[in-house]
């Protein structure tokens, strides 16, 4: 029979949603024969053996059916306990999510719409602009160059020009991807006070909470219990492919997020839920020490020409390009080195992201190549 040609018309929103710049790079990199990949967004370690064993036991013991929407009660109780220990008032109001991305999607769909301005410190995580567009809201980047810190002054200045009738959301991200900046307790307290005065609802993306190298992580929610907390197990535990994280929020907000989870994610992979119950008991100090050593190496070895703000968290650094970014990044590719262009994370195109989750060998070689390029460009 006659069949019409593929003539699908897409939803309007699809015009504004773009493919990830990191993914384009990933595809470019897959054409290189043996690249040094410092573009990675995941740790290089595997889940702890005891966590693997809990996952395996869950499969064998028949924990393969739907869980409650919010997650298995055992994991929620353990999370409530952990969050209490961090001084978070809404600790009991916690749900399991499909990674931090799952939590962000639910929070934004519940809180943001066409009448909402979502403020985002720039540089920002690549998915924010897309998630904000999906929710139908408007993103307002707040420039934080050159030190990459959101300050009360910068926040107030951003709002000064804003339409007072529009709802205000802020996505706060500490430790920050891509800059590696981890905020300290006092900074957060001052920021939260200003955010409250300016009428912001805050979503705190703390996906890199365990990856801090100077002072222990402090949650935004310790100061502001009205905020939505979003975290992941995936990066912490070395199983980003398992798609598991968690979110905490005031009960009325969590209720909305749960309503959305019911018919979208339905529940989080139950095997991963049981395994993460074990992960919460696991000491990850060795892994963090290892990453701190790589951070130190990067900070010490990278030529001052790159003007690096030393990362205090995550496994990313965001140095500035020592020459015209296009030219610099082409040189990197020529030498089979993959880093991520700064404009993937920012309205500016002056910096680039390196991941120090790469093994020490490639990391050392990659930094060597970067220094060599910086020298060549200076000599030209």
Of residues 117-136, which lie at the interface with a copy of itself (CB under 8 A)? 126-127, 130-131, 134-136
User: Considering only residues 91, 158, 181, 272, which one is a binding residue for a copy of itself as defined by CB under 8 A?
Assistant: 272
| Contacts of a copy of itself in 329-368 (CB under 8 A) | none
Closest distance between a copy of itself and the C-beta of residue 250, in Å? 4
| Contacts of a copy of itself in 171-200 (CB under 8 A) | 189, 193, 196
- The single residue listed with the structure tokens 């912490």 is 236
Burial class (CB in 10 A: 0-12, 13-18, 19+), 63: middle
Q: Does 281 bind a copy of itself (CB under 8 A)?
A: no
Q: Does 10 bind a copy of itself (CB under 8 A)?
A: yes
Closest distance between a copy of itself and the C-beta of residue 299, in Å? 26
When the beta carbons of 183 and 213 are compared against a copy of itself, the nearer one is: 183
Closest distance between a copy of itself and the C-beta of residue 49, in Å? 9
Q: Does 238 bind a copy of itself (CB under 8 A)?
A: yes
When the beta carbons of 213 and 274 are compared against a copy of itself, the nearer one is: 274
Q: Does 267 bind a copy of itself (CB under 8 A)?
A: yes
User: Considering only residues 226, 282, 303, 350, which one is a binding residue for a copy of itself as defined by CB under 8 A?
Assistant: 226
User: Considering only residues 181, 253, 302, 337, which one is a binding residue for a copy of itself as defined by CB under 8 A?
Assistant: 253
Q: Does 71 bind a copy of itself (CB under 8 A)?
A: no
| Contacts of a copy of itself in 11-30 (CB under 8 A) | 11-14, 17-20, 23
When the beta carbons of 98 and 373 are compared against a copy of itself, the nearer one is: 98
Q: Does 65 bind a copy of itself (CB under 8 A)?
A: yes
When the beta carbons of 122 and 224 are compared against a copy of itself, the nearer one is: 224
Q: Which stretch binds a copy of itself (CB under 8 A): 66-74, 145-153, 298-306, 313-321?
A: 66-74
Q: Which stretch binds a copy of itself (CB under 8 A): 152-160, 173-181, 253-261, 360-368?
A: 253-261
């Amino acid at each position: 029979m006659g069949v019409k040609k593929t003539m699908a018309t897409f939803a309007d929103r699809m015009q504004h949603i773009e493919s990830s710049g990191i993914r384009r790079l990933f595809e470019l990199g897959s054409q290189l024969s043996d690249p040094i990949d410092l573009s990675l967004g995941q740790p290089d370690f595997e889940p702890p053996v005891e966590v693997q064993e809990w996952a395996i036991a869950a499969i064998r013991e028949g924990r393969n059916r739907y869980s409650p929407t919010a997650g298995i009660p055992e994991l929620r109780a353990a999370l409530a306990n952990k969050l209490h220990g961090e001084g978070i008032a809404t600790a009991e109001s916690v749900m399991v999510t499909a990674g931090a991305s799952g939590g962000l999607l639910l929070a934004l769909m519940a809180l943001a719409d066409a009448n909402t301005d979502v403020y985002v410190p720039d540089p920002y995580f690549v998915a924010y602009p897309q998630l904000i567009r999906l929710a139908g809201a408007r993103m307002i980047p707040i420039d934080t160059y050159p030190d990459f810190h959101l300050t009360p002054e910068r926040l107030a200045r951003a709002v000064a020009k804003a339409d007072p009738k529009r709802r205000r959301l802020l996505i706060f991200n500490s430790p920050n991807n891509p800059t590696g900046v981890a905020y300290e307790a006092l900074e957060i307290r001052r920021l939260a006070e200003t955010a409250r005065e300016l009428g912001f609802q805050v979503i705190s993306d703390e996906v890199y909470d365990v990856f801090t190298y100077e002072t222990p992580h402090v949650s935004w929610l310790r100061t502001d219990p009205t905020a939505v907390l979003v975290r992941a197990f995936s990066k912490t535990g070395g199983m980003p492919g398992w798609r598991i994280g968690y979110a905490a929020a005031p009960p009325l907000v969590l209720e909305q997020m749960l309503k959305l989870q019911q018919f979208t994610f339905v529940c989080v992979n139950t095997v991963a839920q049981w395994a993460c119950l074990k992960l919460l008991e696991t000491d990850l100090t060795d892994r963090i020490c290892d990453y701190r050593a790589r951070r130190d190496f990067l900070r010490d070895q990278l030529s001052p020409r790159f003007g690096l703000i030393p990362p205090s968290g995550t496994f990313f650094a965001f140095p500035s390009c020592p020459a015209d970014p296009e030219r610099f990044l082409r040189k990197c590719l020529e030498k089979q080195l993959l880093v991520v262009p700064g404009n993937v994370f920012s309205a500016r195109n002056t910096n680039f992201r390196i991941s120090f989750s790469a093994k020490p060998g490639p990391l050392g070689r990659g930094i060597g190549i970067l220094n060599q390029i910086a020298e060549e460009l200076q000599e030209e």
